[in-house]
Amino acid sequence: MNADPITAVIRCRRTVKPAMFSDQAVDDAILREMLENANWAPTHGMTEPWRFFVFTGPARLRLADFLASTYKELTTPDNFKQSKYEGIRQSATLAPVVIVVGMKRQEIEKISELDEIMAVACAVQNLHLTAAAHGLGGFWSTNIAATSEAMRDFVGLGPKDQALGLFYVGHPQSDWPTSKRGSIDEKVQWISE
């Protein structure tokens, strides 16, 4: 195996928000590959807790209305921001694809909830890396509406399940963003004895 291609994709992956997307459609075959690769995330006990609800076309408008109204319902008057309300609604209409990310809790609860959430996070990373490998931008949003019980119910998850946010996918309308990271040496301790 050659690690160079995966290293390149990991280091080039960027958050690209919906306002930075063009209106170009996302190819269904690429979207399917993203979801298939998400399905290969690590999973303790083989529970495969990730669930994805893919919104495209006019369904995004229904999602946008739901997100905006849920934000308004869950936010106190002191914390409500009109710009956030409008931004939450607009993001769902700017992205050609919006994936609601869910966690399906196993009935017997043998595996911890934290393990299940981490497995879903790995699945989302696989989504994002696959999108980046195809030149697609992605953004995982975990705003108050996207992670609410109302969202869980909206997509038909059960009472023990969780909505874990939205993953927006689209073609960037400009050059691929650049980024940098601090030194790994500041974040690692080597322990040998």
The annotated binding site for FMN is made up of 13-15, 44, 140-142
Judging by beta carbons within 10 Å of its beta carbon (0-12, 13-18, 19+), is residue 110 exposed, middle or buried? exposed
Binding-site annotation, residues: 13-15, 44, 140-142
Residue 44 CA, distance from chain mean position: 20
Length of the chain: 193
CA distance 158 to 104: 8
3-state secondary structure of 169: strand
C-alpha distances (whole Å) from 99 to each of 2, 46, 51, 128, 156 are: 31, 23, 10, 12, 14
End-to-end alpha-carbon separation of the chain, Å?
A: 32
Q: What is the side-by-side strand order in the sheet with 50-56?
A: 50-56, 97-103, 162-170, 137-141
